[in-house]
C-alpha cells in the first residue's frame, strides 16, 4: 500500500555545508564486447557537476549511464582521463560518494537497522548503541520505524528503496549517486518516492547525480538534465530546469514544465530519428 | 509377534546407532573439510588453477568405487566406511560452496567497498553470509547422499548397521527383516533430513517462506 512517509522535523545528517562537485575530464572508457571487439563507451568525455544541485543524467538503456555512475562512484577506473571530486582525483570507492543501485543492494542477512548502521559501524565511527539511536531517528523520518528489526525480504519494493537511501545518508556522503533507483516500482510508489527524495534534497541541497531513463522523472527532479547519447556516448545536450523549489507534483501541470518537456522530447526524438541505426535501445 | 520382538532387540537398535554414527562422522568431516576447500576455490584463482582439475577428476568417481581403496588404506573397518560416507558428502558441499562464492551478488560487495568497510569485515560480514545459502544446499544434498552411500557400503563391506541388517534379511530369506530394514532406513533418512532442515532454518533466519 503506497503511503506517503512522514517528513517529520528530524534533521538529516548532512555534509553540504561546503559545496561538493564532481568533474570528469577527458574520460575515455572502453569495454570488450562478447565478440571480442573493443568498443568505446566514452571518448574524451568531460562533464562538470556543480555543487548543491540535483543533476539528472538521461539516456536510452545501454548508452552507458550506469558506467558513468560507476566511474563517479569509483567502482571502475577510466582508461584515460580523470574523475575527480572537488578537483581531487577519485582513487576508488569511498563513503564520500555513495551509490544507490538499480537492484536492491541491502544485505539480506541483516535487519534494516543493521543494514543502516553497518557503514559507520565498520568504520568504528561511534558505538553501536549510538548508531542504533541515530538509525532509529532516520527510520522515523523515512516512515520505516515499525520495520526496524525486519529483514529486507519482508519489505515492499518502495520500502527497500527508502531503507537504502537512509543507509546511504547516515554516512553523510558528499555526493549521492542514484542509478535508476525507482525503476520497476509501480507508478504510485514511484511518484511518492520522487516527491520524497526531492523533499530530502531540498532540505540538505546535497549534490546529487540521478540517473534515469524516464523523462518525466528527470523533468520533475532536476536542476539540470544531461542528455546522453550517440556513439561513443557523449553529453549531447544540457537543459537547465529553472522550475521553482520547493516542488511538488502540481508543477507538472504548469506551462513552464510542459515547455521543458517539449524541448526535451524534441532533443530525444531528433537523435533517434536522425540515426535510427545507431539508436541504442 | 516376530516383528515386535525384533524391533525391541539390541541388534536392531545397535544397527541404528551404528549407521547414524557413520553418517554423522562422515557428514561432519565432509562439512569441516569441504566448506573451507570450497571457499578457497572460490576466492583464490591461483589455488583454483592448481587444484581444481584434480578435484574435478576425482569428483565423478562414485563413492562406492572407493570401497576397495578405502579398505586397503584405512586401518579399521569402521574408518573405511566413514571415509566412504565422507566422500559422498564432500564433493557435493565443495561444489556448492564454490558456486556460492562465484554467485555473490556484485552489488553487495560494491556497496560494502564504497562504505569504506575494512577487508576483514567484508569477508566475515558480507562474503561469508552470502555463501550460507549455498552451504545449506550442499548440506541438504549431502545428507541424502550420505545415507545412500552408507547403506550400500554396509551391504558390501560391513557386518553392522541398517544396510547390513536389510541385507541379512535378504540372504536369510526373512522378508520381515528386509521390510523392517527398508522402513527403518527410510525413517532414519527422514529424521536426518529434518535435522538438517532445522539447522538450515537456524543458519538463515532472514529467509522467509523456508518451505
| Per-residue pLDDT at A2 exceeds 60 | no
**Does B210 contact A at CB distance below 8 Å?**
no
Give me chain A's average pLDDT, please. 87
Q: Which of A94, A104, A151 sits opposite B116 (nearest CB)?
A: A94
Q: Which residues pair with A48 in a beta bridge?
A: A23
**Which residues on B lie below 8 Å from A119 (Cβ)?**
115-117
Is B114's CB within 8 Å of A97's CB?
yes
| Per-residue pLDDT at B22 exceeds 90 | yes
| Predicted complex ipTM | 0.85
Please give the pLDDT value at position B211.
45
Closest residue of chain A to B106, computed from CA coordinates: A105
Which residue ranges make up each domain of chain A? 107-172
Measure B204 CA to nearest chain A CA, in Å. Answer: 7
**Does B117 contact A at CB distance below 8 Å?**
yes
Is A73's CB within 8 Å of B107's CB?
no
Is A109's CB within 8 Å of B132's CB?
yes
Closest residue of chain A to B117, computed from CA coordinates: A122
Longest dimension (CA), chain A: 59
Residues 6+ apart with CB under 8 A from B5: none
| The three grid cell numbers given for residue B94, joined into one nine-digit string | 565443495
| The three grid cell numbers given for residue A220, joined into one nine-digit string | 520533475
| Per-residue pLDDT at B198 exceeds 50 | yes
Is A105's CB within 8 Å of B121's CB?
no
Q: Where does the pLDDT of residue B117 fall: very low under 50, low under 70, confident under 90, or very high at 90 and above?
A: very high
Q: Which of A107, A119, A151 sits opposite B108 (nearest CB)?
A: A107
The arithmetic mean of pLDDT across residues B133-151, rounded, is: 93
Angle at A186 between CA A181 and CA A190, to 5 degrees: 45
CA dist B67 → A146, B30, B78, B145, B185 (Å): 58, 17, 12, 15, 21
Please give the pLDDT value at position A271.
66
B191-203: burial string, b at 16+ Cβ within 10 Å, e else: ebeeebbeebeee
Q: Which of B117, B130, B132 sits opposite A122 (nearest CB)?
A: B117
Measure A252 CA to nearest chain B CA, in Å. Answer: 34
3-class SS at A198? helix
| Per-residue pLDDT at A5 exceeds 60 | no
Residues 180-209 of B with CB under 8 A from A: 204-208
Q: How, if at all, do strands A88-89 and A80-85 pair? A: antiparallel
Is A108's CB within 8 Å of B206's CB?
yes
Measure B199 CA to nearest chain A CA, in Å. Answer: 16
Is A154's CB within 8 Å of B208's CB?
yes
Is A75's CB within 8 Å of B107's CB?
no
Measure A261 CA to nearest chain B CA, in Å. Answer: 33
Q: Dihedral of the CA atoms A166, A168, A169, A170 (nearest 10)?
A: 80
Please give the pLDDT value at position A4.
56
Q: pTM (2 decimals)?
A: 0.83
Residues 6+ apart with CB under 8 A from A213: A58, A59, A60, A61, A65, A180, A183
**Beta strands per DSSP E along A73-223:** 80-85, 88-89, 97-100, 175-179, 208-212
For the stretch A139-143, contacts whose Cβ atoms lie closer than 8 Å and that sit 24 or more positions apart, written own/partner, are A139/A112, A139/A113, A139/A166, A140/A6, A140/A8, A140/A10, A141/A5, A141/A6, A141/A7, A141/A8, A141/A10, A141/A12, A141/A166, A142/A5, A142/A166, A143/A3, A143/A4, A143/A5, A143/A6
Q: Where does the pLDDT of residue A270 fall: very low under 50, low under 70, confident under 90, or very high at 90 and above?
A: confident
CB pairs under 8 A between A and B: 71
Measure B102 CA to nearest chain A CA, in Å. Answer: 17
Q: Which residues pair with A179 in a beta bridge?
A: A211
The arithmetic mean of pLDDT across residues B23-41, rounded, is: 95
Amino acid at each position: 500500500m503506497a503511503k506517503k512517509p512522514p517528513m517529520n522535523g528530524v534533521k538529516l545528517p548532512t555534509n553540504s555545508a561546503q559545496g561538493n562537485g564532481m568533474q570528469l575530464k577527458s574520460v575515455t572508457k572502453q569495454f570488450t564486447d562478447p565478440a571480442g571487439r573493443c568498443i568505446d563507451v566514452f571518448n574524451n568525455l568531460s562533464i562538470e557537476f556543480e555543487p548543491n544541485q540535483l543533476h539528472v543524467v538521461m539516456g536510452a538503456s545501454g548508452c552507458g549511464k550506469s558506467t558513468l555512475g560507476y566511474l563517479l562512484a569509483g567502482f571502475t577506473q577510466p582508461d584515460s582521463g580523470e574523475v575527480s571530486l572537488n578537483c581531487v582525483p577519485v582513487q576508488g570507492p569511498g563513503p564520500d560518494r555513495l551509490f544507490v543501485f538499480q537492484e536492491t543492494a541491502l544485505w539480506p542477512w541483516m535487519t534494516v537497522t543493521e543494514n543502516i548502521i553497518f557503514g559507520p559501524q565498520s568504520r568504528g565511527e561511534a558505538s553501536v548503541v549510538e548508531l542504533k539511536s541515530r538509525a532509529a531517528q532516520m527510520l522515523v523520518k523515512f516512515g520505516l520505524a515499525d520495520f526496524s528489526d525486519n529483514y529486507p525480504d519482508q519489505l515492499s519494493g518502495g520500502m527497500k528503496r527508502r531503507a537504502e537511501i537512509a543507509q546511504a545518508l547516515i554516512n553523510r556522503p558528499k555526493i549521492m549517486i542514484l542509478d535508476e533507483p525507482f525503476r520497476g516500482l509501480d507508478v504510485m510508489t514511484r511518484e511518492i518516492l520522487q516527491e520524497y527524495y526531492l523533499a530530502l534534497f531540498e532540505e540538505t541541497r546535497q549534490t546529487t547525480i540521478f540517473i534515469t531513463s524516464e523523462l518525466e522523472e528527470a523533468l520533475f527532479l532536476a536542476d539540470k538534465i544531461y542528455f546522453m547519447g550517440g556513439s561513443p556516448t557523449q553529453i549531447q545536450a544540457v537543459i537547465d530546469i529553472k522550475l521553482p523549489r520547493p516542488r511538488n507534483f502540481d508543477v507538472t501541470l504548469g506551462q513552464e514544465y510542459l515547455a521543458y518537456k517539449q524541448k526535451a522530447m524534441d532533443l530525444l526524438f531528433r537523435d533517434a530519428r536522425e540515426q535510427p541505426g545507431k539508436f541504442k535501445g | 509377534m516376530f516383528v515386535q520382538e525384533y524391533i525391541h532387540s539390541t541388534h536392531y537398535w545397535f544397527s541404528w546407532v551404528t549407521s547414524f554414527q557413520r553418517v554423522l562422522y562422515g557428514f561432519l568431516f565432509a562439512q569441516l573439510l569441504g566448506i573451507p576447500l570450497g571457499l578457497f576455490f572460490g576466492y583464490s584463482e591461483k589455488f583454483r588453477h592448481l587444484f581444481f582439475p584434480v578435484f574435478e577428476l576425482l569428483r565423478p568417481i562414485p563413492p562406492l568405487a572407493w570401497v576397495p581403496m578405502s579398505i586397503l588404506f584405512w586401518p579399521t573397518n569402521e574408518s573405511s566406511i566413514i571415509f566412504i560416507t565422507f566422500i559422498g558428502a564432500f564433493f557435493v558441499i565443495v561444489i556448492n560452496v564454490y558456486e556460492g562464492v562465484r554467485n555473490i551478488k556484485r552489488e553487495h560487495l560494491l556497496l560494502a567497498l564504497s562504505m569504506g568497510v575494512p577487508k576483514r569485515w567484508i569477508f566475515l560480514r558480507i562474503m561469508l553470509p552470502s555463501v550460507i545459502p549455498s552451504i545449506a544446499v550442499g548440506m541438504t544434498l549431502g545428507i541424502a547422499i550420505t545415507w545412500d552411500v552408507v547403506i550400500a557400503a554396509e551391504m558390501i563391506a560391513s557386518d553392522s548397521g541398517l544396510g547390513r541388517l536389510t541385507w541379512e534379511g535378504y540372504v536369510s530369506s526373512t522378508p520381515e527383516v528386509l521390510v523392517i530394514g527398508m522402513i527403518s532406513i527410510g525413517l532414519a533418512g527422514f529424521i536426518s533430513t529434518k535435522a538438517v532442515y532445522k539447522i538450515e532454518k537456524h543458519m538463515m533466519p532472514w529467509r522467509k517462506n523456508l518451505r
